[in-house]
Amino acid sequence: MAVHFHENDLPEGALADGAVAVDTETMGLVTRRDRLCVVQISDGRGDEHLVRFAPGSDYAAPRLKAVLGDPARLKLFHFARFDLAALQHYLGVMAAPVFCTKIASKLTRTYTDRHGLKNLVSELLGADISKAQQSSDWGGPDLSEAQRDYAASDVRYLHALHEVLTARLVRENRLHLAQACFDFLPTRALLDLAGWDDADIFSHE
């Protein structure tokens, strides 16, 4: 297992075929204000790749975009709604099709209100991840080893979680509901970017 660090794009042939786990690190939670700094990606075979974008980047990244935009590759996220919006806004690519472990957790782990990645990894996989670097400065000129390890851990377990949560969705006869949610996520991200991030357009009010 290794963490590979790249500037501005993935190298050629970095990822094997199949589903990829994806996450993002930004300067904050307001997508249009807080720039995209790092994209983490893994093919689930033991290595994680971190692609860093410096201030003023043009976010060209043709190889990364090709992977994210490949309709034959499933993209695994935890809270995909945020990441999809960031990737669309800065890279200009909608990363679909999607599986979101947070949505899958909320549809299956109805016995708890703890659906964070740390909670899922602990309960379902028996592993522990640190969230100490979650609110650190991702826009600096250098990323610390702690930041790199944290970023890598955010995609390290998503393939295994996908397998466990899919089995639970099938067991509870909710896979069709989950899939409908996943299919809607790109539209949900576009609504966020268009200004409807705080409005429930399905409500009566």
Q: Mind listing the pLDDT tens digit for each residue in 97-153?
A: 999 999 999 999 999 999 999 999 999 999 998 877 677 899 988 899 999 999 999
CA distances from 158 to 91, 195, 200 (A): 22, 29, 29
| Burial of residue 113, with CB atoms counted within 10 A of its CB: 0-12 exposed, 13-18 middle, 19 or more buried | exposed
DSSP string, 26-77: ESSS-TTTS-EEEEEEE-SSSEEEEEE--TT-----HHHHHHHT-TTS-EEE
State how far the Cα of 77 lies from the Cα of 128, in Å rounded to an integer: 18
Structure tokens at 62: 């043709």
Q: Which amino acid is at 146?
A: A
* Residue 201 maps to a domain: no
Asked whether residue 19 is assigned to any structural domain, the reply reads yes
Domain annotation covers residue 151: yes
What letter would DSSP give residue 143?
Answer: -
Q: How far is CA 48 from the centre of its chain?
A: 13
Angle 75-30-154 (CA atoms, 0-180°, nearest 5)?
A: 35
Residue 19 DSSP SS3: coil
* DSSP label of 199: -
Residues with Cβ < 8 Å from 178, sequence gap 6 or more? 103, 104, 107, 169
Contact of 68 with 24, CB cutoff 8 Å: no
Overall size of the chain counted in residues: 205
Assigned domain for 148 exists: yes
Domain limits at 51? 2-137+144-196
pLDDT tens profile 149-196: 999 999 999 999 999 999 999 999 999 999 999 999 999 999 999 999
**Predicted local distance difference test score (pLDDT) of residue 136:** 87
Residue 55 lies in a domain: yes
Query: Total domain count for the chain?
Result: 1
Check which CATH number belongs to the domain holding 58 and give it.
3.30.420.10
Instruction: Decide if 27 contacts 173 (C-beta within 8 A).
Output: no
At 115, list the tokens. Answer: 């659906």
- Residue whose structure tokens are 């740390």: 118
Average pLDDT over residues 4-30: 97
In the prediction, which pLDDT does 81 show?
Answer: 98
Please report, as a single letter, which amino acid is at residue 40: Q
Residue 122 lies in a domain: yes
Does 204 reside within a domain? Answer: no
Q: Is residue 202 part of a domain?
A: no
